Structure formats: C-alpha cells, structure tokens
Amino acid sequence: MISKFYASTLAEFYGALNDMKEDFNGGKDDLRFWFRGHGYNYYNLIPTLYRDQYFSRNQNNTYTQMNLKEDYRYQHFKARAFHYVDSNPVYKSEWQEIYQHHFGRTRLMDWTESARTALSFALEPFIDTQDNKALEYKRQTLSPCVWVLNPYELNKKVYGYMGEKLPDVIKRSATMFQPWIDWLPICEEIKGNENIYFDGNDSDQEIKGVISLCALEDSRKSFGERFERAVHTFEFNPFYYLALSIYSDAVPYSIETYDQEILPPIALLHPYHSNRIRTQRGAFTMFPNYFVEEQVEKKCKNRKRDIRNMEEQDYISDCLKVIYIINPHEIARELMISGERRSELYPDIQTYADMIETQKYYCQ
C-alpha cells in the first residue's frame, strides 16, 4: 500500500518529507526524491496520451495507434517549433520532453527534483495573480496533494522485472519481439547481475539507477553496424538495450489479464532544452507502449479502475508516497511570504507582464 502523509502548514509539509525518508528505507541512505504536485488528489498518475484512451494495433503486433499518435505529434511539433528551441534536440525522446513541458500529450509524465516546485504546482490557483471564473472555481474546490517518488527504487523494479518477469511475457506474447535480436538471453544475463549492469558502486548514490535515453541513443549510434553484435556479446549494457527498445522505440507491451503484474514506467533524466524545464528542475517517468487486450479493457471500464496508473501498480507501490495538503490556502500564503511567485514556475515575458498588471494575491 502507498503510505499517506498530511500537511496543514509549510513546516508540516517539510516534516512529512523527513518522515518519508524513514518510511522508504528506514533512513539508511540519503535519498533522492522526485515530486509531482496535483491540484486535485483524485488525479491519477498516468500520462495524458493514455488518459481515458485505449489503442488498437496491427496484425503483426508491431505498431499501435499510440505509435501513430506519437509520430504525428513528433513530426508536426518539430516542424513548427524547431526555430523556438535554443538548444539542439536530436532524438524523438528529446522532442517529447519539450512537448510534454509545454502541455503536449505524450507517454512522459513530469516530475521535479524540487519539493517546493511541486508544492507550488499543486497550489498554483492561489499563486496565480490573475482573476477569472476558472481560477476562482479552482480556489474554492482545490484538494491538492504532492506525490513523492524514489526514482532509484523505481528503476530497480524495472530492472528486476526485465530479468524475472519479462521472459514469460516474451514467451507468450509476440508484441515483445524483435526478430533481429533474441531478447531471452538478454533477460537471462540481466538476472542476477544487478551489481554489474544497474547498481554499480554504492558510493554513486546520487547518479546510479536513473538513465538518460538521449545519451543512450548516442551510445547506440556510436556502435554503428557493430551494434547488434555488441548487444549479443553484452558489450552494450543489456539493461540499456531493453530500456531503449521498450521505452524509446515504443515496442508494444501487451496487458493480457486484469491482474497481470505489468512492466512499470521508468525514471529518466533529459537535458534541459528550455529555460522553463531548467527552472522547474524537470525530470520524467516514461511509460511503455501499453496495449490493453479487449477483455481487460472492458473489465477496467466496468470497474472504473485503470491498471496502467502508477498508483494502481502494486509492484511499485513502495516507490511512491503522497502528501495530502489539508489547508491549501494557508500553505499557499506561507509560500508567498517566503517569496514564491508564478514566475518561478513559468519564467517568461508574458508571466512577468501578467504579474505586474494583476498584483492581487488570493491566498491572503
């Protein structure tokens, strides 16, 4: 079960974070947390591209409607927004990062390395100085929370799944099949070799476990024609290969039973391709290309439970905690007193202009 914490003041919020350290692993290590703020605590942990949508696939089980939705968004966004990007994104996953941070629909879900930023997102209607009916409604109905994720433990679960459970999925489902490389020996190599391919040296606490897909894309590209051989001989980290195939290449992953223990999303770091992402200290989880079989889809709809939601996946429940904000008006006021402003979330000219013209604060 996911542990729940409660906060009615800013001090209680930070106290909950400290208690969380004990709850995660008995306080043994200095943990790196990621955070995600929701204005409404019933809002599920699932990417917008999946929300309330299920997809069809081709007869070969190699391409789904989700692939098509991603392809069109990537093509059009890159074509229309290329001249607005100061950096030089190369790979599809990088463009998805930028698109996600500008409210586009992707398989990515935003997190931040800053608890304060996540809390500000959860309380944004109070921090936003504009006045309109939509914001006023939110101020009256807000039920905010902040989700807390241990990204290292999440990816440790992903690694464990690839070695222990993925072979069974591969054997019974053609959706996890790439004819040029046999995945089963790769899964066997991963199994029992976590210290070599994932965990590494214990002193690497701040960097181990969380990967960057675009950096791995560069590594894959550098092998050139030798890449397939490098995968077979494990010269290329087998965990990295499966992560690229499943998450970046979006090989379809079939959910065949309602109680299936499914492959979780993975925690990712991306280069900061915009000032907004850098200011928000953005990080991401990326979901597999889930394909839900028809009988499972019907059961999900009948029971009003989407088993793709992170909080519904029992396999990773110990990687998540949640803080419910009991008194949002008061905590927003304390945030504003300590200097928090909407320009910290959206550092652009329009935000500064709006703040100057609408200086009334709705948490006082």
pLDDT band at 355 (very low <50, low <70, confident <90, very high): low
Has residue 5 got a pLDDT over 70? yes
pLDDT at 245: 93
Using CA atoms, how far apart are residues 279 and 113, in angstroms rounded to an integer? Answer: 11
Count the residues in the chain: 364
**Confidence band for 34, pLDDT divided at 50, 70 and 90:** very high
Structure tokens belonging to residue 232: 């077979």
Cα torsion 211, 213, 219, 225 to 10°: value is 140
Q: Is the pLDDT of residue 37 over 60?
A: yes
Mean pLDDT for the stretch of residues 100-128: 89
User: In degrees to the nearest 10, what's the CA dihedral of 30, 317, 313, 161?
Assistant: 50
Chain mean position to CA 64: 21
Q: For residue 151, what pLDDT is reported?
A: 95
> 104 pLDDT exceeds 90?
no
Flag whether pLDDT at 354 surpasses 80: no
Give 62's pLDDT tier (boundaries 50, 70, 90).
confident
Question: Above 90 in pLDDT, residue 45?
Answer: yes
Is 197 a residue whose pLDDT tops 80?
yes
Counting beta carbons within 10 angstroms of the beta carbon of residue 350, is it exposed (0 to 12), middle (13 to 18) or buried (19 or more)?
Answer: exposed
pTM of the model: 0.90
177-204 mean pLDDT: 84
**42 pLDDT more than 70:** yes
Distance from CA of residue 298 to its chain's centroid?
26
Q: Which residue has the higher pLDDT, 275 or 125?
A: 125
Residues 298, 303: Cα–Cα separation, whole Å: 9
Q: Rounded to an integer, what distance in angstroms lies between the CA atom of residue 235 and that of residue 247?
A: 20
Q: What is the Cα–Cα distance from 49 to 257, expressed in whole angstroms?
A: 22
Phi, psi values for residue 341, rounded to 5°: -140, 160
10 Å CB burial of residue 169 (0-12, 13-18, 19+) is buried
Least confident of 57-66, 199-208, 236-245, 306-315: 199-208
First-last CA distance in the chain: 37
Using only C-alpha atoms, the chain has a radius of gyration, in whole angstroms, of 21
Q: CB pairs under 8 A, 24+ apart, for 173-179?
A: 173/61, 173/254, 173/256, 174/60, 174/61, 175/57, 175/61, 175/62, 175/251, 175/252, 175/253, 175/254, 175/291, 176/251, 176/252, 176/253, 176/254, 177/61, 178/245, 178/251
CA nearest neighbour of 308 among 294, 297, 324: 297
Across 245-268, average pLDDT: 93
- Specify the higher pLDDT residue, 266 or 129: 266
Tokens encoding 27:
């306080």
Q: How confident is the model at residue 185 (pLDDT cuts 50, 70, 90)?
A: very high
- Per the model's pLDDT, the better-predicted residue between 44 and 23 turns out to be 44
Reply yes or no on whether the pLDDT at 190 is more than 80. yes
Position with higher pLDDT, 60 vs 217? 217
